[in-house]
Chains A and B, each alone.
Chain A
């Protein structure tokens, strides 16, 4: 196809700053007609900002976009669409209560003397779907179609405006394997018709299945553009995580192997004291059972899974142990944590706590069994911004007592003071509204909220996201001291070095599936190897 590849979109030096954050910095993107181009990056890489600039949702601060030989600066999605850039979002943006045909042609219905011609509309819609190889009764209500079909209908609508560039923003996240295959078949067909397709996804296998080129972003900057066929998966992962794959030793050293301190802070005695387990053999192959531990684990989960969440997997967490959960964005880490805490109900498997089988079907029950969950999104799920540090801190405790048995104020103050000192929370006093605290200190208050419950297992989902380096080190230290006091910790993070530093064992996930478990000696490189492993 190289004879047909011509550059359709040239974005050069794109920059965008939001208050306090540099979302994109001098990013280039080149999209070619007749090519499927993957846009890859972890959380905060800038993928969605870049897409939104191309589709006119955001205005760029600097940079130029040349599309089809003209300079463009779309100010709205409809302007971008008029120029020939159509987008299909992860959440299908159609009207569920209208017919398939209307959804394809809404706003562009064929009319005669201002009267909508339904027959012509249905014919036109059927033709648009035919182009995707889809045969469908177009007078059906959209909501009676599966999500996969709705996605196809959204694509049909996007293409019907004579699009030259189709942007697919995580279209596969709610599709099963067969549906993905069908979508890929459509994408290849459109590519062969000469369309340019930008494909945003976090599924590595899909990138290799369907794309021709990859642009990798990290922390708002451009890592590079690569030909998919010439970029080994391991290297792609290294680039997404900001590591040089060559820089890492491929053979594992002892437990004290100095790890590249990517955040540049001293290890503060954490790494050195990391105890090695007697069974130093790391288990690399997938689906392998974990080492037989002599004592009963605090929590043991057998083949727990949920449709569209995670494939059934086994987990064991021991008291006095930090279990790391590693994997890329979308690999099913948070989903696993939510299953354990009973936020989402599982379709399969069973869980036992301290050797006793328990249903674990609601957060309330999980809390009563001694579990605690510090969620990833502290802004929306964690803090009550206008309440004081003290009020935020005792929230879970008060909730477990019920509204009528209020914790006496002196007791509240005592607890708040205790944790403010213990966790070194930087706040003027206990009554400061939590929104005035820095991200790292907010995180510590959240952590304290759960610690005040005296849990036996605490799940930390990305506890160091968006906080500064010093605070990260403190959180790591705290996790270590919790472990020493005999607490079980499930530690989820996309920073591999961090996972390696704090965990005794690591469970590695990829594409919503457990692909391995490492114990004893392991390092970032071995985790990345597991993530990169081909399917079966």
Chain B
């Protein structure tokens, strides 16, 4: 156990404390907040953001950034909805096509970033405009989905006690989370991502497949965006080319609040989960309160983000001070 004690990571701990404090305060202030139903809803309502944030975690860990995910999600929703409603496809092949498209899109961005040493910020900014435009090309209007497969999926609920249950969207989110934790800790790809973000020059001299890893990070994030888009079609029952604008920034905020350094190399998928739940808790509390405008969510997130980057700065400067003495 000692080695776990040593590995406790202060930003992660801070995030956990913030989540507990927020949830605790809301539970005291609002009747019925402290319930399994609210917890189940946290996962269900934030599944789209959560899946996107999981993919984003790897991008940021590798030292990169991806601004295209909001647009990629919108593109996916409208593609899936149009294929199902407009072209009468079965949802499963439609989703597979969407996942392939998302992965390919991410792969292309990763290739540009790696092969031509272009800044990820600009490449994915281009990708953001491109995917958003493509979403409107597929369908300029919101498309509803009425399909027995969707009804069947939406009926899947995992009871977690009381009258609360986790819907399929929450289950997909949790599955993605578990897979990501495994990948981050127990695969060479995961560890290479950390190494790449920690020091790309060293990683190259250490003989790691730096180029391949970097491209893969964006491809995986493209896949995650498509998966988040599919979950969004379940959640809203439609596809909408205007959906998810600004979601990439929410995802970045969740990742950073979760203790991942924007400079790469340090962080965790677990932290990102906590970051997403903090988002969700504030949102639920605002709904429970009923008096406050939803823009208070933005204010709270903004302040938290500033607080966390200050904390991270303090920790990293202390770490460097220690290693130079």
Contact = CB atoms under 8 A, between A and B. Distances in A.
Interface of A: 77-78, 81, 89, 93-98, 102, 106-107, 109, 111, 114-116, 118, 137, 139-141, 143-147, 157
B155 interface: no
A140 B185 CA distance: 16
A146 B320 CA distance: 10
A67 to B, nearest CB: 18
B151 interface: no
Interface in B173-212: 185-188, 191-192, 194-195, 197-199, 201-203, 205-208
Report, nearest first, the 6 A-B pairs whose CB atoms are least far apart.
A95-B198, A78-B207, A97-B265, A93-B202, A97-B198, A93-B205
A57 to B, nearest CB: 9
A96 B185 contact: no
Nearest to B320: A143
Given A106-B195, A106-B208, A139-B6, A95 B187 contact: no
B191 A116 contact: yes
B258 to A, nearest CB: 16
Given A95-B198, A116-B188, A139 B203 contact: no
A104 to B, nearest CB: 10
Contacts of B163: none
B3 interface: yes
A94 B206 contact: yes
B207 A98 contact: no
Interface string B228-239: 000000000000
B293 interface: no
A143 B319 CA distance: 7
A461 B72 CA distance: 56
Main secondary structure of the interface of A (DSSP, over half): loop
A137 B3 CA distance: 9
Interface of B: 3, 6-7, 185-188, 191-192, 194-195, 197-199, 201-203, 205-208, 265-266, 319-320, 322-324
A261 to B, nearest CB: 44
Contact of B205 (A77, A96, A111, A116): A77
Contacts of A147: 323-324
Nearest to B200: A95
Contacts of B7: 139
Contacts of A144: 319, 322-323
Given A115-B186, A137-B6, A106 B191 contact: yes
Contacts of B188: 107, 109, 111, 116
9 contacts: A77-B207, A93-B201, A102-B195, A106-B208, A107-B208, A144-B319, A146-B323, A147-B323, A157-B206
A191 B206 CA distance: 24
Contacts of A114: 187
Contacts of A143: 319-320, 322-323
A81 B6 CA distance: 33
A107 B198 contact: no
A95 B323 contact: no
Contacts of B195: 95, 98, 102, 106
Contacts of A106: 191-192, 195, 203, 206, 208
Contacts of A115: 186-187
Contacts of B185: 116
B186 A96 contact: no
A96 B6 contact: no
Contacts of A97: 194, 197-198, 265-266
Nearest to B9: A141
A95 B202 contact: yes
A237 B266 CA distance: 47
Contacts of B201: 93
B199 A107 contact: no
B199 A96 contact: yes
A117 B292 CA distance: 50
Given A97-B265, A102-B191, A114-B187, 5 more contacts: A93-B201, A94-B202, A95-B203, A139-B6, A139-B7
A98 B194 contact: yes
A96 B207 contact: no
A116 B187 contact: yes
Question: Which of B202, B208, B320 gathers most chain A CB within 10 Å?
Answer: B202
Contacts of B319: 141, 143-144
Nearest to A138: B3
A157 B194 CA distance: 18
A1 to B, nearest CB: 32
Nearest to A114: B187
A524 B74 CA distance: 76
Nearest to A117: B186
A96 B208 contact: no
Contact of B207 (A81, A94, A146): A81
Contacts of A141: 319
A98 B198 contact: yes
Contacts of A140: 6
B1 to A, nearest CB: 12
A89 B323 CA distance: 18
A231 to B, nearest CB: 33
Contacts of A102: 191, 195
A106 to B, nearest CB: 6
A145 B320 CA distance: 10
Question: Which of A95, A96, A143 gathers most chain B CB within 10 Å?
Answer: A95
Nearest to A150: B323
A93 B206 contact: yes
A96 B198 contact: yes
A167 B202 CA distance: 17
Contact of B323 (A96, A118, A139): A96
A106 B195 CA distance: 8
